[in-house]
């Protein structure tokens, strides 16, 4: 399967070149986002009857994990409303790109030019996940907080610094975008070589340099480069799924840690939300109680300690089986690509399990978004208790098995010998089996 150049079609090209389609989508997501915050703050306290809970944690989360990321990489980032006011203020206009009128903004501090802040953000949300996912007000505050933070950071720092270096959603989206098909590429590198102004880099809100773009990890698919290039030399391509494996364009230690955090939180969230152990749910929910203290400590211990230690051990053993050794730090990053398909598939399976029993809430909540007893669409009725279908279970099995398969294939490609891949295999097999046990069994 070769790379497909999407923008070869003039219709697609003009859709991406014009600012209007993307703007309309973003205006709509902004309106929806503001409505979500209002609904969370002002609407019913009963989560199942509030637009904020149902549309953020069931509709949008499922769309993100099951479609946007696996098929489109950072496509959500291209229509995300969170940085919008900041961008408009920076560019002093809605339909404007970065240019002469854009205020310069400070460079994002070097110490934080990595994925560590998104890791912390994600761990924080996971820590309080049981409360956030069930309280409309908590959801609203989290969204409002991200919104305000993005806007303030846009006024101080250059470009979409929040999106690239702070946003917890952006963190894992970028991580798994390495597996997804879309990638922005230059068509004729020779043209770029003789083009001195490098307009594409000037306008890119993500600080990417299109001629050298090898990975989709940090490209927000905003298409500003495509619009700005005077030679129309930029195209949007679709490459085969998982094309960046195993090289994955140099994962850093921060990316590895994020990937491990994603694996751990997928398992912990499955235990809390889909498991049958009531004691963990209550512990995760009653923030401030001694039980929650134990939960919080265990959560941190497993996420920040046990899982990274397990991975480190596995890498150490694998590395010893290899004839020529790298530095240990490099080997941690070197074997990292196995974590990507494993993590994405596990999150997809979890999301499927989580959302499939609650999908029947979507239409009634559209009919009565604030939970005030409205019946806008005539669909407000008592929602039947959802059930897990065998179809959903089969799909989850396929995802987990497929993720393990892809991870093992990556491990093999990274290893010089079967012996070297054995510890990696053990890691992959044990994690995949634990997820299967939690989700299916």
Partner 1 sequence: MKQEYLARAIVVTLLVLVLALPVIGKTLWRLQNPTVLEMRARLPESGGWSPSTITVRSGQLLTLRLTSEDVVHGFAIGKLDQPEIEILPGEFVETTLILSTPGKYVFYCTRWCGPNHWRMRGVINVIGDGPTPTPEPTPLYLGLEIDLDAPHQAEVIPDRVVEPQRGSKLQDRLPSYTLEQATYLSNSPASLWMRLRAEPSLRDLNDDDLWDLVAWVWEQHTSAQEIVAAQELYAENCAACHGETGKGDGVMMRDLPPPAPDNHTPAHNERTRPPDWSEPRQLLGASPALLAGKITRGGMGTGMPYWGPIFTPEQIDALVAYLYRFAWNALSKETPAHP
Partner 2 sequence: MKHIKGMLLRITQPRWRAALIFILAAAIILGTPVPRSTTSTGQRYIRVEASRYAFTPEQINLSPGERVTIELVATDVKHGLSLDGYELDLEAEPGQPARATFVATQPGVYRFRCSVACGNLHPFMLGKIQVGPNLPLIRGSLLGAIAILIALYRPQHYDQSAPNGNH
| 93, 99, 230, 240: residue in contact with partner 2 (rule CB under 8 A) | 240
> In this structure, are residues 335 and 416 in contact, taking their beta carbons and an 8 Å threshold?
no
DSSP 157: B
Token digits for 349?
């399976």
Q: Which of 183, 213, 251, 370 binds partner 1 (CB under 8 A)?
A: 370
Tell me: does residue 260 bind partner 2 (CB under 8 A): no
Number of residues that bind partner 2 (CB under 8 A): 60
Residues near 97 by beta carbon (within 8 Å), at least 6 away in sequence: 91, 203, 224, 227, 228
Is residue 264 within 8 A of residue 307, CB to CB? The reply is yes
SS (H, E, C) 232-276: CCEEEEECCCCCCCCCCCCCCHHHHHHHHHHHHHHHHHHHHHHCC
Instruction: Select the residue interacting with partner 2 from 217, 223, 243, 315 (CB under 8 A).
Output: 243
Q: How far is the CB of 195 from partner 2 (least distance, A)?
A: 23
| 137 scored as a contact of partner 2 (CB under 8 A) | no
> Residue 278, interface with partner 1 (CB under 8 A)?
no
Residue 71 or residue 95: which is nearer to partner 2 going by CB?
A: 71
428 in contact with partner 1 (CB under 8 A): no
Report the nearest approach of partner 2 to the CB of residue 8 (Å).
16
State how far the Cα of 305 lies from the Cα of 303, in Å rounded to an integer: 6
Query: Of the candidates 94, 212, 398, 429, which one interacts with partner 1 according to CB under 8 A?
Result: 94
Q: Of partner 2, partner 1, none, which one sits near residue 244, judging by CB under 5 to 8 A according to partner kind?
A: partner 2
Q: Which of 4, 9, 71, 95 binds partner 1 (CB under 8 A)?
A: 95
Told to check if 404 binds partner 2 by CB under 8 A, we report yes
* Of residues 186, 178, 182, the one with CA closest to residue 218: 178
Span interacting with partner 1, options 97-105, 340-348, 367-375, 393-401, rule CB under 8 A: 367-375
Is 75 a residue that touches partner 1 (CB under 8 A)?
Answer: no
Q: Compute the distance between CA of residue 332 and CA of residue 325 in angstroms, rounded to an integer.
A: 12
25 binds partner 1 (CB under 8 A): no
Per DSSP, the three-state class of 324 is coil
- Would you call 5 helix, strand, or coil by DSSP? strand
- Taking CB within 5 to 8 Å according to partner kind, which of partner 2, partner 1, none is near residue 405? partner 2
Q: Which of 398, 416, 417, 419 binds partner 2 (CB under 8 A)?
A: 398
Minimum CB separation of residue 152 from partner 2 in Å reads: 31
Q: Is 198 helix (H, G, I), strand (E, B) or coil?
A: coil
The owner of tokens 């995802």 is 399
Closest approach, Cβ 52 to partner 2, in A, equals 13
Q: Does 2 bind partner 2 (CB under 8 A)?
A: yes
Whose structure tokens read 């990053």? 333
Dist CA 377 CA 58 (whole Å): 20
Please report whether residue 71 would count as binding partner 2 according to CB under 8 A: no
What CA–CA distance (Å, rounded) separates 349 from 275?
14
43 lines the binding site for partner 1 (CB under 8 A): yes
DSSP 23-38: HHHHHHHHHHHHHHHH
Q: 111 exposed, middle or buried (CB, 10 Å; 0-12, 13-18, 19+)?
A: exposed
Binding of partner 1 at residue 48 (CB under 8 A)?
A: yes
**3 state SS of 44:** coil
Binding stretches for partner 2 (CB under 8 A): 1-3, 46-48, 130, 134-135, 239-246, 272-279, 281-282, 285, 357-358, 385-388, 393-394, 397-398, 400-402, 404-409, 412-413, 418, 421, 425, 428-429, 432-433, 436-437, 440-441
């Amino acid at each position: 399967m070769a790379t497909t150049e999407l923008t070869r079609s003039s219709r697609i090209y003009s859709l991406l070149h014009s600012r209007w389609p993307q703007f309309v989508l973003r205006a709509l997501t902004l309106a929806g986002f503001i409505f979500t915050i209002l609904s969370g703050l002002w609407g019913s306290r009963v989560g199942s009857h509030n637009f904020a809970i149902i549309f953020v944690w069931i509709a949008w989360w499922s769309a993100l994990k099951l479609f946007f990321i696996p098929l489109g990489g950072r496509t959500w980032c291209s229509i995300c409303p969170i940085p919008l006011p900041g961008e408009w203020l920076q560019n002093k206009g809605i339909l404007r790109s970065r240019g002469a009128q854009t205020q310069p903004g400070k460079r994002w501090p070097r110490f934080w030019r990595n994925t560590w802040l998104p890791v912390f953000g994600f761990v924080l949300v996971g820590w309080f996940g049981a409360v956030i996912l069930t309280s409309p007000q908590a959801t609203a505050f989290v969204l409002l907080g991200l919104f305000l933070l993005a806007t303030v950071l846009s006024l101080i720092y250059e470009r979409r610094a929040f999106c690239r270096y702070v946003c917890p959603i952006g963190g894992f989206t970028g991580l798994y975008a390495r597996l997804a098909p879309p990638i922005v590429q230059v068509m004729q590198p020779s043209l770029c070589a003789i083009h001195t102004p490098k307009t594409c880099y000037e306008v890119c809100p993500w600080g990417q340099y299109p001629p050298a773009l090898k990975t989709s990890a940090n490209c927000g698919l905003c298409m500003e480069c495509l619009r700005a290039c005077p030679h129309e030399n930029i195209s949007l391509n679709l490459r085969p799924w998982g094309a960046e494996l195993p090289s994955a364009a140099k994962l850093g230690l921060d990316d590895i840690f994020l990937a491990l955090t994603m694996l751990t939180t997928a398992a912990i969230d499955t235990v809390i939300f889909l498991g049958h152990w009531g004691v963990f749910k209550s512990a995760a929910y009653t923030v401030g109680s001694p039980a929650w203290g134990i939960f919080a400590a265990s959560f941190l211990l497993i996420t920040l300690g046990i899982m990274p230690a397990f991975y480190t051990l596995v890498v150490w053993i694998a590395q010893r089986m290899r004839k020529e050794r790298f530095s240990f730090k490099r080997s941690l990053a070197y074997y990292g690509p196995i974590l990507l398909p494993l993590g994405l598939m596990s999150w997809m399976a979890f999301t499927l399990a989580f959302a499939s029993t609650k999908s029947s809430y979507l239409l009634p909540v559209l009919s009565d978004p604030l939970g005030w007893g409205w019946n806008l669409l005539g669909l407000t009725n008592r929602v039947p208790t959802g059930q897990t279908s065998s179809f959903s279970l089969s799909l989850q099995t396929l995802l987990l098995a497929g993720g393990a398969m892809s991870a093992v294939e990556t491990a093999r490609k990274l290893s010089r010998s079967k012996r070297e891949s054995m510890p990696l295999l053990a890691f992959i097999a044990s994690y995949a089996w634990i997820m299967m046990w939690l989700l299916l069994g």
